[in-house]
């Protein structure tokens, strides 16, 4: 009975010691790093080796630091090794408004384990979205022929540079190790049909624009000619009015000078000129105060 009394505490102590040993010691691999936290606060970051932490209080978060890879525009079955195209990611629009089916393979790794764990919920998904944005932006700068043939290396470099800038700015703890264009080819029949519809709409737009430009080229010269005609006519009327006004002013000035020199003679001359102008059209009737017999018409009388 005495031994049984001490057996239970010994078992409990041994159990606690074993749990403490297994929870306190931890190993970090060559391609790993461990972020140690206590009550949600980061204590330190450990590289490869054997370490000890406070059991049940501190936690070790192991982060894989090796290089990983993923495809953009396709997915690969791990069991069979077969690749399946993902047109939602692979179909891009080029600078000449064509479509191209282009696939990429990106290699990446964790550059900052703390940022990787705590700066975002899903760093890999963010990396993928950033990469798709960079690819669409760069591919849209090249015509379709160059994307399929000669511009692959340039596209790779540009996409990688843009992705590196975005990863640095976002600070999600990932870095791009390598990026390659796997394949670039014309899209599927469904996409080609959609492109033809887009091209038809674009040609219809060009037809309407050309018709509008033709109408513009016809109407503008006619309007300009009519405007010139109106302006010339107005200028002629303006010149005539100005000349007439100047002539009348000169005549008045001359007459005034004569009046100043010979007032009486000038008045008489003006009077005679006025009478000569008025009398030829005047009709004069002479009566004797109401006793004259009425004869019609009076003008012939």
pLDDT in tens, 231-244: 999 888 888 888 88
Euclidean distance between CA atoms 65 and 32, whole angstroms: 5
Cis bond before residue 160 (omega within 30° of 0):
no
pLDDT in tens, 232-288: 998 888 888 888 888 888 887 877 777 777 777 777 777 777 777 776 666 666 565
* Closest by CA position to 40, among listed 117, 101, 94, 109: 117
The pair of structure tokens assigned to 293 is 């017999």
Buried b (16+ CB within 10 A) or exposed e, 14-45: eeeeeeeeebeebebeeebbbbbbeeeeeeee
* Closest by CA position to 96, among listed 239, 199, 19, 234: 199
Which homologous superfamily does the CATH classification assign to the domain defined by 68-187?
Band 7 domain (3.30.479.30)
Domain definitions of the chain by residue range:
2-63, 68-187, 188-237
Q: Is the entire prediction scored with pTM above 0.85?
A: no
φ/ψ of 75, rounded to 5, equals -135, 150
């Amino acid at each position: 009975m005495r031994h049984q009394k001490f057996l239970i505490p010994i078992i409990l102590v041994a159990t606690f010691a074993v749990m403490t040993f297994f929870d306190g010691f931890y190993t970090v691999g060559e391609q790993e790093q461990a972020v140690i936290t206590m009550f949600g606060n980061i204590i330190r970051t450990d590289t490869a080796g054997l370490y000890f932490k406070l059991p049940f209080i501190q936690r070790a978060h192991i982060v894989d630091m090796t290089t990983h890879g993923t495809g953009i525009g396709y997915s690969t079955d791990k069991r069979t090794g077969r690749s399946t195209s993902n047109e939602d990611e692979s179909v891009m629009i080029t600078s000449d408004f064509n479509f191209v089916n282009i696939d990429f393979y990106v290699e990446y790794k964790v550059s900052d384990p703390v940022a990787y764990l705590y700066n975002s919920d899903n760093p890999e998904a963010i990396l993928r979205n950033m990469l798709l944005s960079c690819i669409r932006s760069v591919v849209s700068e090249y015509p379709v022929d160059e994307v399929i043939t000669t511009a692959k290396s340039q596209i790779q470099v540009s996409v990688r540079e843009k992705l590196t800038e975005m990863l640095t700015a976002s600070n999600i703890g990932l870095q791009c190790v390598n990026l390659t264009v796997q394949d670039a080819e014309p899209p599927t029949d469904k996409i080609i049909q959609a492109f033809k519809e887009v091209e038809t709409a674009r040609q219809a737009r060009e037809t309407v624009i050309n018709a509008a430009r033709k109408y513009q080229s016809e109407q503008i010269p006619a309007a300009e000619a009519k405007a010139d005609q109106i302006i010339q006519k107005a200028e002629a009327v303006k010149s005539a009015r100005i000349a007439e006004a100047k002539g009348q002013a000169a005549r008045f000035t001359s007459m005034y000078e004569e009046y100043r020199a010979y007032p009486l003679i000038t008045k008489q001359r003006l009077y005679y000129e006025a009478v000569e102008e008025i009398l030829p059209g005047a009709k004069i009737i002479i009566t004797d105060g109401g006793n004259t017999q009425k004869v019609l018409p009076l003008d012939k009388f």
